[in-house]
A and B are shown apart, each in its own frame.
Chain A
């Protein structure tokens, strides 16, 4: 499928930009050129310049690392916590399960980003606090999914067999159940990444989270909003980039989930 190839290509470019940022950026992302402010794209500045005459493309490239790192932290944090809690709730059952699920129900419907806006805005904790809040509030939904995946597995013959042989709980959970709920975990991991990418960009767009001057995609959207007449590329660039990365990772998640669960099915058949 063309779409899949395109998204893989886009992700590849973004990862290269994150790794090699300083070498491939045509200009210094912080260098101002007050004689050439808000210039539309030309041969030197492919996406033009912003209000302070900084090269938009170089700033986009420089922003890649933060754009990927924050969401990666959130996704990993959410995956580890929700998998651990979901495994525990689903396998133990009983009061542990009920207690965990009541707590999950309580925060399940709360939109994480809204809380992040309030908390980061009021407490002014910036980027680290934003990441913490996003992790804490994204864990419940994923926990619920891991738990139902565990519930679907826990009474299958292989788990029964492992129990009969007398394997310990930890061994059953991590060596036997975990690999079988892994497709769910990986799919959630990538979805959390997308949610956090969009969420952190939104916070930066609203002026929360990242400090001024930092080359951040969301921040650039807000800063270059006023250039819609003079150099729309300065504003559309980051908007398109955020959307393309988010869509590509979502697509990758869908694909990985399909592949991993298909492999599971084939193995079961054999």
Chain B
């Protein structure tokens, strides 16, 4: 019963946030400098027919709330309108660019998990050793280093200097793509690794000081079981909480990394569309991003329920 109420509340909150966001995103067109027609015309020749078509398509003669409703019902059917720059459907453009960004994001995510959790866990267990200090300082540097700065340094050392990796483009086919995306993924992963490693270290130090760990060790359980089943699971909650933060970092990071490495993904699309004032594409991207952020935060809440029985029974996170 409690689980249902908890879920219902979270889903409702997510829906409200999404609705508010959609309103702000829609207002971008009205709020951007110049009249909406001018914005929608872009560099095209302003013939009376085209203007009339745009006015009809965007319902510019209707009052604002009606226009918003019309746009929102289109959005629910994945119709974000057409790009000002290329006159193509925004959805098609997004779909085309999604591929590279998904690869980049997944690649970086795998790197984060593979590096950060073991590093944080081992640093937390071997507290105040040289290894712990090394991890802490490296994480501190990583959390402060902007992805584009890291990207450019990697680019000049491993791309141009040593020639190990290609320096731009996304590649085609699995192996080629992996080699093209390695430097960008590392640049994107650095901040995430740093955040998750810090969280894991702190959580591990907390948990390993608890009585149940001492007891498990006293019972002579193998180290693997103590760490894997007792320490890791109990330090998972704060780590998962930081997932939302990491996502926010990687979305912003993707924009910067894709621009650095000239990758044709959603991030570079945002920069292109923003600088050419291609509002429909910006709106589509903004909504997609908002849905992603809100969705992940919802999933984080669900993970709480799954991992920690106390949340299931007690109420309130």
Contacts and interface: CB of A to CB of B under 8 A. Distances in A.
Contacts of A235: 152, 156
A117 B274 contact: yes
A50 to B, nearest CB: 14
Interface string B208-241: 0000000000000000000000000000000000
A130 interface: no
A197 to B, nearest CB: 9
Q: Which of A118, A122, A228, A242 has the most CB of B within 10 A?
A: A122
A225 B259 CA distance: 11
B248 interface: yes
B251 A114 contact: yes
B73 interface: no
A205 B28 CA distance: 23
A251 interface: yes
Interface stretch (A91-99, A104-112, A152-160): A104-112
Interface string B249-293: 101100110011000000000110011010100100010011001
Contact of A246 (B13, B146, B244): B146
Interface in A92-149: 105-106, 109-111, 113-114, 117-118, 121-124
A207 B248 CA distance: 21
A67 interface: no
A122 B244 CA distance: 27
B270 A109 contact: no
A250 interface: yes
Contacts of B33: 122-124
B144 A206 contact: no
Contacts of B150: 239, 243
B203 interface: no
Interface stretch (B60-68, B86-94, B98-106, B135-143): B135-143
A124 B271 CA distance: 13
A1 B140 CA distance: 14
Contact of A247 (B144, B161, B260, B282): B144
Given A3-B137, A113-B252, A235-B156, A118 B144 contact: no
A109 B297 contact: yes
A202 B160 contact: no
Interface residues of B, number: 49
Given A3-B137, A109-B297, A240-B153, A118 B146 contact: no
B4 interface: no
B21 to A, nearest CB: 8
A239 B152 CA distance: 8
A187 B143 CA distance: 15
A177 interface: no
B109 interface: no
Interface in A235-261: 235-236, 238-240, 242-243, 246-247, 249-251, 254
B20 A106 contact: yes
B144 A198 contact: yes
A47 interface: no
Contacts of A194: 144
A229 B297 CA distance: 43
Interface string A1-40: 1010000000000000000000000000000000000000
B146 A242 contact: yes
Interface in B118-136: 133
Contact of A105 (B13, B28, B277, B282): B13
B270 A118 contact: yes
Interface in A30-80: none
A182 to B, nearest CB: 22
B283 to A, nearest CB: 10
A248 to B, nearest CB: 8
B146 A198 contact: yes
Contact of B146 (A124, A202, A236, A250): A202
B17 interface: yes
B80 interface: no
Given A111-B249, A229-B160, A250-B143, A121 B155 contact: no
16 contacts: A3-B137, A109-B293, A114-B251, A114-B289, A117-B255, A118-B270, A118-B286, A121-B271, A121-B274, A121-B275, A198-B144, A206-B256, A206-B259, A240-B149, A240-B153, A250-B143
Given A109-B248, A118-B28, A205-B148, 5 more contacts: A121-B277, A235-B156, A239-B150, A240-B153, A250-B144
Ordered nearest first, which 5 A-B pairs have the shortest CB separation?
A121-B274, A246-B144, A239-B149, A247-B144, A111-B248
